[in-house]
Amino acid sequence: MRHLRSTVCILYTCLFSAAALAQKTGTLLVANQKDRTLSLINIETTSQIAIPEEHVTGHEVAASPDGRTAYVPIYGNAGVGHPGTDGQEMLVIDVSSHKVVGTVDFGHPVRPHKPVYDAKRNVLYVTTELDNTVTAIDPRTLKILYSIPTGAIESHMLALSHDDRLGYTANVSPGSVSVLDLSTHKNLAVIPVAPHVQRISVSNDDKFVFTSDSSAPRLAVIDASARKVKTWIDLPAKGYGSAPTPDGHFLILALPAAAKVAIINLADFTITKTIDVPKSPQEVLIRPDGKVAYVSCNSSHQIAAIDLSNWSVTLLEAGEGADGLAWANNR
């Protein structure tokens, strides 16, 4: 078994001073693919600390509910479905000391990718792509608890329903979405969607699941109860990551090729506006206070911070290949 001696480069920077975007505490975590770093962007400090990372790259990141710990799966050096190295570890990072304090070894190459923390069950889920599963980990002991089969290959991304009952995976080359029962650890359904899909999110009322058709400029709106596509939203360019606003009125969707995000009205599934952002927007994260949406921009080493009260944009510096995002509350 290959052992990966990996550490993470952590960049500590300040946010920005605009009053509308300010929050007293909190750290934005950014997984940077190209320079193999994790950026910790904190509004309370301007210091920078760097620890080198070796060998392989993490694409996504999650934070514990108390904000003390970050989890970075080490995916490998290739895109989904393409040949390359296959990671089998996840790094556990102490946010305050900026140090790697543990690892989870999956025992064999699995390309672990998207971590999601289930605060209700105190379980950390990680998509384990090469096993066609989502793996559950005890965040206290870092032991693997169980796996949930997705019934499809390339289960790349994961989103949980807001009632904590279900998990949904975007299965890239099958072009499907798997529905997982988080209590029984069973696969309930695999929903056919498109030739290929990317990224996934769930509406605040859990009625709809959204995933982008990566072969055409359109967004699938899946009826969660019927478990089938309800409608398609035509887009000005192919979509990628998305997130609903806290009031449930809008879905913010990244359009990488257009260097824009689309604001979709969820009342009638129409695009109300598009907003210019730096090149290759990837992932969308809504800050817990509901005031700002952060959008990672993969080709510009920047994060677009969108003020949700007026849709204005402020740019933050991150690392090269900025992708996965998470928010850690400072306590």
The CATH number that applies at residue 22 is 2.130.10.10
Q: Is the pLDDT of residue 12 over 70?
A: no
Q: What distance, in Å, lies between the first and last C-alpha atoms of the chain?
A: 38
Sheet with 69-74: strands ordered across: 62-63, 69-74, 89-94, 99-105
Domain membership flag for residue 1? no
pLDDT at 8: 52
Asked if the structure places residue 246 within a domain, the reply is yes
Q: Phi/psi at 95 (nearest 5 deg)?
A: -65, -40
Residue 129 lies in a domain: yes
In a domain, 196, yes or no: yes
Considering the domain boundaries, does residue 3 fall inside one?
Answer: no
pLDDT above 90: residue 1: no
Cα 2 from chain centre = 27
Tokens of 69: 């710990």
Number of domains into which the chain is organized: 1
User: Which range marks the domain in which residue 162 is found?
Assistant: 9-328
pTM of the model: 0.92
| In-domain check, residue 4 | no
Would strands 155-160 and 166-171 be described as parallel, antiparallel, or unpaired? antiparallel
Rounded CA separation 294/165 (Å): 26
Residue 292, pLDDT > 80, answer: yes
Residue 180: half-sphere exposure toward Cβ, Cα within 13 Å: 29
Residue 85 maps to a domain: yes
Q: What pLDDT, in 10s, does the model give residues 159-168?
A: 999 999 999 9
